[in-house]
Structure 1
Amino acid sequence: MKLFKETFYEQLKVLSSIQGPPGQEAPVVKTLVDWFKPYADHVEVDHIGNVYAYLNGKKPGPTLMVSAHSDEIGCVIRDIDDKGFLRIERTGGVIESLLIGRKVNVNGHFGVVGVKAGHLQTPEERKRIPSIYELYVDVGASSRNEVYEMGIQIGDPITYISELEQFTNKDLICGKAIDNRSCCVLLLELFKSFSEREFSGTLVGVIAVQEEVGLRGAKIASYKINPDFALVLDTIPCADTPDSLGSGYPIGIGKGPVIPALAGGSVRGHLMSPQMKKLLIDYSNKLAIPYQVAVMTGATTDAAAIHLEREGVKAGAITFARRYSHSPVEVADLNDFEKGLILLQGMISDLENWGELNFI
């Protein structure tokens, strides 16, 4: 039997390689539906592309929704000029400085984000980062019609080409779409681990779409399921590199799952309830799982949408630190996901004893 980290890495390598930016997650969805079917009582996909996997425990009990999002940051084509170069618009938190000179997947075709030769740049140009509206993608075409003949159109997706790889320390992985295909794989492993249904209640695994453009899929999913409790699985930026040490945000890879007590800005975000925060910390301590508590105003999770549906949902998040967020070289530690699985297994096995988590 393969060890967790080996299996996790192999599945993530496949899943992260599939193109699936916001609104265009269908190839990822199809793969995940096939992967979940052997381990769920029922799997379905809604009109927007959310995946729902249902698993009933041995006894009646609460309904717990555990979610992860399937989309990755990316771009779409907004214009094609008469020489066959593509102009682009972002979908999600794409950073211009990380686009320049990159290899990209243009709806299944190879392309590169062009870069003006240094020999032709003025001293001023060398000091600034071009706007996304100045950038262009070269797919090797010489005319607009040639681009159309390739099957490329306005609105088609563009994502990084960046294969998942391991460092010499094989616990550390690097590539695109670790945010958040890693947690899609973690959710799958969670379902596998409950094949004997050793829990009470109903577990609903949700793979939500369009998180990177406003938590859209999670809003629909939480309304549909109306769970008693919800746990969101996601990755979270960390600050353990030389450019961010001393930032007052003491989160790093390899230090265990992250419990985001606050995620998001003052208007849109999620303030985890003291009851849910205590629940996560208590189970972490009980299971001897190292954990980190975060206050992160610059990032959020699907919990921000989920907890506001219907009459309010008792929601929490278990997240995993990643370096170089929203880049083609995101870095994470497989040990964190392994510890996250143990925490989830322990919590869900005891789901009937969570209580009501009453506000007062």
Structure 2
Amino acid sequence: MPDKSIKLIKKLSNANGISGFENEVLDVAKNETAANLNFEQDAMQNLYLYTKNYNSDKPTVMLDSHSDEVGFMVKSINKNGSLKFVTIGNWAPQNIPAHKVRIKNRYGNYVKGIVASTPPHFLSQAEREQLLPVEKLIIDLGSTSYQQTIDNYGIEVGAPIIPDVEFEYDDSNQIMIGKAFDNRLGTAIVIELMLYFANQNLDFNLVGSLSAQEEVGTRGAEVTARKIRPDLALVFEGTPADDNFRDHYDSQSALNKGPQIRHRDISIISNPALVKFAKNSARLNKIPFQEAVRIGGGNDGARILLSNYSVPTAVLGVPVRYAHTHYCISSLPDYKNTIKWAKSILTDLSSAQLKQFNYI
């Protein structure tokens, strides 16, 4: 019997949902939670998950994940039927060519294409060493004319483009391979946590938010935080793994070393008292974890932190190798330990303690 977490992650990873087009991801979330939770969806495609015992007199803890993934959008159609495109989210140009994509046409169907790369037979030595900018890349559908792309393929300007990747799981090594682990792993965690606590009587309300458009500027979280008005927030991310690019002593996000707690990135400094509380909880429960001080990055916590006259916020991440490419690799034990850690934090938390995170 496949692990229930793997079943959920597979559905979410395979769903198509670049920024602004998250509806398929939200459909999965609603189908998974409808029997046990209440939900609302806004015009921006943010999804709010509420326990059925929600009490407006209690303080509120927000569990956030962004639901969108990086991808592309059709910019224009060339005379020969190929597509020009722009990136949605942050991509390195060298990671884009020679990969399959799927484009949503005007009928709601998906058309397959390939990001074209010139065969070596037609390249000079200088061209072989040249990095093509995104503006010079095209997507080839197999079409031979502008009209064929419009009429036969049903492709229009503005169509979303998604990496064409199917989820795989290596059971013997507990390794997951697929697209969009940033941030479908975080999305799965929020769903699992909300279902776990659905019928428990906590000192506080637990509200899950699947926030839209994080990859293009953490836009959805600004809206979700305003609506939820949390007293504390935990943000869950598929965080870039660095273990293949740094020496082991400098690595802060390695596979099979546990979830990561983020002290700092360019968008946020996590609440020190909440970070300390979370670390103590992990140690007491013998949960392995990693700590990160990042020089780049950014996440929904930056918007949540600034809401409701400041919100104590911490970011927990599942290490993801090759984030923002077509193929990601993650460890199921890291994912499970992130859920275990969040459960321990929330179980140890009381309404009185919520008031203490203003102090280090």
Does TM, scored on the shorter chain, surpass 0.5? yes
CA offsets 1:78-136 (integer angstroms, 9 cap, x no match): 11011100001001012221111101011111110111111110101111221000000
Could you tell me which of 206, 225, 230 is aligned with 1:227? 230
Which secondary structure does the structure 2 equivalent of 1:297 belong to? coil
Q: How far is 1:169 from its partner?
A: 3.8
Cα distance in 1, alignment partners of residues 7 and 173 from structure 2: 12
Distance 1:201 1:116, change over 3 A: same
Identify the residue that residue 353 of structure 2 maps to in structure 1: 354
Identity %: 28
Q: Does 1:14 align with 2:17?
A: no
Cα distance in 1, alignment partners of residues 54 and 156 from structure 2: 50
Q: How far is 1:38 from its partner?
A: 1.6
1:48-67 alignment runs, 5 A limit: 48-55=44-51, 61-67=58-64
Cα distance in 1, alignment partners of residues 235 and 310 from structure 2: 15
Counterpart AA for 1:142:
T
Contact 2:51 2:199 in 1 (8 A): no
Could you tell me which of 178, 181, 185 is aligned with 2:181? 178
Cα distance in 1, alignment partners of residues 79 and 270 from structure 2: 52
Contact 2:65 2:235 in 1 (8 A): yes
Q: Does 1:47 align with 2:43?
A: yes
- CA RMSD across the alignment: 1.8
Could you tell me which of 328, 331, 345 is aligned with 2:329? 331
Identify the residue that residue 279 of structure 1 maps to in structure 2: 277
Cα distance in 2, alignment partners of residues 27 and 124 from structure 1: 43
Could you tell me which of 303, 306, 310 is aligned with 2:304? 306
Cα distance in 2, alignment partners of residues 284 and 171 from structure 1: 22
Which secondary structure does the structure 1 equivalent of 2:134 belong to? coil
* Alignment gaps of 5+ in structure 1: none
Counterpart AA for 2:121:
H
* Alignment gaps of 5+ in structure 2: 105-109
CA offsets 1:176-235 (integer angstroms, 9 cap, x no match): 111111111111111221243142221100001101000000111001111111110001
Cα distance in 2, alignment partners of residues 58 and 223 from structure 1: 18
Counterpart AA for 2:18:
P
Distance 1:138 1:48, change over 3 A: same
Distance 1:355 1:229, change over 3 A: closer
Cα distance in 2, alignment partners of residues 58 and 132 from structure 1: 47
Could you tell me which of 243, 258, 261 is aligned with 1:259? 261
Identify the residue that residue 107 of structure 2 maps to in structure 1: none
Which secondary structure does the structure 2 equivalent of 1:280 belong to? helix
Identify the residue that residue 35 of structure 2 maps to in structure 1: 38
Identify the residue that residue 98 of structure 2 maps to in structure 1: 101
Q: How far is 1:355 from its partner?
A: 3.6
Contact 2:257 2:334 in 1 (8 A): yes
1:27-176 alignment runs, 5 A limit: 27-40=24-37, 42-55=38-51, 61-107=58-104, 108-149=110-151, 150-167=153-170, 169-176=172-179
Structure 1 stretches of at least 4 aligned residues deviating more than 6 Å after TM superposition: none
Q: Does 1:295 align with 2:297?
A: no
Q: State the aligned residue count.
A: 351
Contact 2:63 2:233 in 1 (8 A): yes
CA offsets 1:152-181 (integer angstroms, 9 cap, x no match): 111111111111112364311111111111
Contact 1:236 1:322 in 2 (8 A): yes
Cα distance in 1, alignment partners of residues 260 and 71 from structure 2: 25
Output the TM-score relative to the length of structure 1. 0.93
